[in-house]
Amino acid sequence: MNDRNQSKLLQPFRIAPFFRTRIWGFDDLSPWFDFKTAGEPIGEVWLTGDQCVADSGQFAGQALNDIVRSQGAALVGKEHLGETYPLLVKVLFPKEKLSVQVHPDDAMARNYGQPRGKTECWYALDAAPGAQVALGIRPGVEGEEVRAAIHDSMLEDLLAWLPVDQQDMIYVDAGTVHAIAPGVVLLETQQNSDLTYRMYDYGRPRDLHVDLSMEAMRSHTNAGKVKPVPEKGHTKLIDVPYFRLDRFALNNSSAENALGSANGEFTDRTQVLFVSAGHATLYADGAAPVALDRCQTAIVPSSTSAWWLKSADHAEVIRIVPQPGNASK
Read off the pLDDT of residues 118-146 as tens digits, 9 standing for 90 and up.
999 999 999 999 999 999 999 999 889 99
Write phi, then psi, for 91 (nearest 5 degrees): -115, 130
**What percent of the chain clears pLDDT 90, i.e. is strictly above it?**
81
End-to-end CA distance of the chain: 36
Q: Where does residue 267 rank: exposed (0-12), middle (13-18), buried (19+ CB within 10 A)? A: middle
Q: Is residue 271 part of a domain?
A: yes
Same domain, yes or no: 22 and 117: yes
Query: Do residues 275 and 319 lie in contact, with contact meaning Cβ atoms separated by under 8 Å?
Result: no
Task: Please tell me the distance from the alpha carbon of residue 250 to that of residue 234, in angstroms, as a whole number.
Answer: 9
Q: Is residue 76 part of a domain?
A: no
Same domain, yes or no: 27 and 150: yes
Indicate which CATH number applies to the domain containing 175. Answer: 2.60.120.10
Q: What is the SS3 assignment for 19?
A: strand
Q: Is the pLDDT of residue 2 over 80?
A: no
Confirm whether 20 is a catalytic residue.
no
Same domain, yes or no: 124 and 257: no
**Average pLDDT for 80-92:** 92
The active-site residue, picked from 22, 198, 244, 319, is 198
Domain boundary among 209, 225, 241: 225
Query: Do residues 103 and 196 lie in contact, with contact meaning Cβ atoms separated by under 8 Å?
Result: yes
In the chain, the number of structural domains is: 2
Same domain, yes or no: 122 and 186: yes
Q: Encode pLDDT of 162-195 as tens digits.
A: 999 999 999 999 999 999 999 999 999 999 998 9
Query: Do residues 221 and 264 lie in contact, with contact meaning Cβ atoms separated by under 8 Å?
Result: no
Q: What is the SS3 assignment for 110?
A: helix
**Average pLDDT for 245-265:** 77
253: confidence class by pLDDT, cuts 50, 70, 90 = low
**Long-range pairs for 141-144 at CB < 8 Å and ≥24 separation?**
143/214, 143/217, 143/219
Domain extent for 280:
229-322
Tell me the whole-structure pTM to 2 decimals.
0.94
Q: Is the pLDDT of residue 302 over 50?
A: yes
